[in-house]
Amino acid sequence: MKRTHQPLLSTLSSVVETVVKLRSMGHKVVLVSSGAIGVGLQRMNMPSRPKGLSGKQALAAIGQGRLIALWDNLFGQFEQPIAQVLLTRGDISDRTRYLNAVNTFKELLSLGVVPIVNENDTVSVSEIKFGDNDTLSAITASMISADYLFLLTDVDGLYTANPRKDPDARLVETVDNVSAIRNQVSTATAGSSLGTGGMETKLIAAEIATAAGVTTSICSSRHPENTAHGQRRSAPRHTCFTAAANPVRDLKSWVSHTLHPAGSVVIDAGAYRVLSKRTSGGRLLPAGVLGAFGDFSSGQAVRICVKIEKASEEEEEFQRNAYNQHRQVAKSSLPLSEPASGADTPRETEEEEEHPPFELTEDDVVEVGRGLANYNFSQINRLKGLNSSHMPRVLGYADSEYVVESITIALPADSAFSPSLSRQVSRSP
Ligand SMILES: N[C@@H](CCC(=O)OP(=O)(O)O)C(=O)O
């Protein structure tokens, strides 16, 4: 986009030509396009983005129709049908809506249509927002199990320093591990006054997409036709991020990257140890639960937490750092590390016992992972510490003997954090 807020027609036209060419080569293509707010600004003759949320939402509503009309016009020159897909993080967080979106993509692609995706800005508030279209494109790519994601921007790749200011800046050609190169590259190179994304969000997107098995490339939007080279040696300058050898697929990827946790389930040390030792989606029995907080419903994502015993100031500081570090990772939607256990917690001997009211708050616990709740928070509180055989009596029914499923542990019990952490978790609330 230029200062005039007019979409750069030459760029959009070459994107369209490239997509049509890719289609003729047999590829299925999904386009993620920003620009609704910019087009809205231009339509309303406004000089800059409004500060308030509702102002931006209104402009996006004004601009989105014109933006999609523009794409339709350009693709129409090639008789290429398109579809508008508007998503929010909230849509992806809800399992049914997520699956519906995946099915719609599949159907559109099988019909030979090019879906054009943007955030549904009108209803997006901070809690359910992707915020930038780099993250949205990475989530979209992992939803459709894409082979490639191309992040088009105003530089031709990732540099060791800002190439506009530093003549020694080098282009990084291949990245196998995003977190390993994070400190060695410049994130001050891409972005515009109209967008929210930049090189940092592109790194986050690359991390999400590659974890889901999608080879990702950062390349110049001046030459979108270069994407037709794929990752061949002949491809012009770009940065290629290698896809993970063992990609996180479907539900696990979805839990790790897209869900906004609606509450927390606090587990005991035994459950934590077991969950952090296995390698695929862990499941939690009520016996390993100390309690739950946050008004979550069944089917929603929850944080898996362990209790911090009030220890020495030094240990507290250590835990706080671990917690903050993990929160930062979770906030940026970065992949959680090793997926956790395929096994449940080995509790056999729980008797029905009186449990004191659960009075822990966010400040008393540390998040160690994420999962999907099978029951709501009040049901999980009624079930805490019990053997699963008591579920039908306590709830009046039992859908699953596990209270949380698809658990990914980000801070395993045997990680660098763990000696101190596992000493500090205790079974009693
Ligand atoms: N969804 C909004 C903007 C999102 C956005 O700015 O994303 P990005 O292009 O990654 O900076 C729009 O269409 O204007």
Query: Of all atoms in ligand 1, which is nearest to the CA of residue 67?
Result: 13
Name the pTM for this structure.
0.70
The response to whether residue 345 sits with its C-beta less than 6 Å from ligand 1 reads no
Q: Assign residue 294 a region: left if phi > 0, alpha if psi is -120 to 50, beta otherwise?
A: left
Q: Which residues contact 317 (CB under 8 A, 6 or more apart)?
A: none
Residue at 254 is within a domain: no
Angle (CA) 108 111 114, round 5°: 55
CA of 262 relative to ligand 1 center, distance in Å: 25
User: Among the three residues 204, 219, 248, which one is the final residue of a domain in this structure?
Assistant: 248
The response to whether residue 42 sits with its C-beta less than 6 Å from ligand 1 reads no
Say if residue 148 is in the same domain as residue 90. Answer: yes
The residue assigned the tokens 């897209």 is 258
Say if residue 296 is in the same domain as residue 389. Answer: yes
Separation of alpha carbons 323 and 309, rounded Å: 14
C-alpha 54: how far from chain center: 24
Say if residue 158 is in the same domain as residue 279. Answer: no
Predicted local distance difference test score (pLDDT) of residue 351? 38
C-alpha 426: how far from chain center: 31
Residue at 159 is within a domain: yes
Q: Which two tokens stand for residue 427?
A: 């079974």
Predicted local distance difference test score (pLDDT) of residue 355? 46
- CATH number for the domain spanning 296: value is 2.30.130.10
Residue at 390 is within a domain: yes
Alpha carbon distance, N-terminus to C-terminus of the chain? 55
Low-confidence residues in the chain, pLDDT < 50: 1-2, 329-356, 416-429
Count the residues in the chain: 429
Nearest CA among 190, 193, 224 for reference residue 205? 190
Q: Which two tokens stand for residue 135?
A: 């993250």
The response to whether residue 196 sits with its C-beta less than 6 Å from ligand 1 reads yes
Pocket test for ligand 1, best of 34, 43, 48, 117 (most atoms within 8 A of CB): 34
The response to whether residue 57 sits with its C-beta less than 6 Å from ligand 1 reads no
CB count in 10 Å sphere of residue 142:
25
Separation of alpha carbons 131 and 134, rounded Å: 9
Nearest CA among 39, 37, 29 for reference residue 80? 29
Range of the domain at 56: 9-248
Predicted local distance difference test score (pLDDT) of residue 334? 33
Say if residue 75 is in the same domain as residue 180. Answer: yes
Predicted local distance difference test score (pLDDT) of residue 427? 34
Say if residue 233 is in the same domain as residue 370. Answer: no
Phi, psi for residue 366 in degrees, rounded to 5? -125, 135
User: Among the three residues 248, 267, 301, which one is the final residue of a domain in this structure?
Assistant: 248
Residue at 326 is within a domain: no
User: What angle do helix axes 95-110 and 133-143 make, rounded to 10 degrees?
Assistant: 80
pLDDT, tens digit (0-9, with 9 covering 90-100), for 394-427: 998 887 899 998 888 876 666 544 433 433 333 3
- CATH number for the domain spanning 71: value is 3.40.1160.10
The response to whether residue 133 sits with its C-beta less than 6 Å from ligand 1 reads yes
The response to whether residue 119 sits with its C-beta less than 6 Å from ligand 1 reads yes
Separation of alpha carbons 315 and 420, rounded Å: 7
Name the maximum alpha-carbon separation found in the chain: 71
Say if residue 31 is in the same domain as residue 148. Answer: yes
Let me know: does 319 contact 327? Beta carbons within 8 Å.
Answer: no
The per-residue b/e assignment along 304-327, b for 16 or more CB within 10 angstroms, e otherwise, is bbbbbeeeeeebeebbeebbeebe
Let me know: does 206 contact 217? Beta carbons within 8 Å.
Answer: no
pLDDT, tens digit (0-9, with 9 covering 90-100), for 15-50: 999 999 999 999 999 999 999 999 999 999 998 888
Q: How many domains does the chain have?
A: 2
Say if residue 34 is in the same domain as residue 169. Answer: yes
Phi, psi for residue 232 in degrees, rounded to 5? -65, 160
CA of 195 relative to ligand 1 center, distance in Å: 5
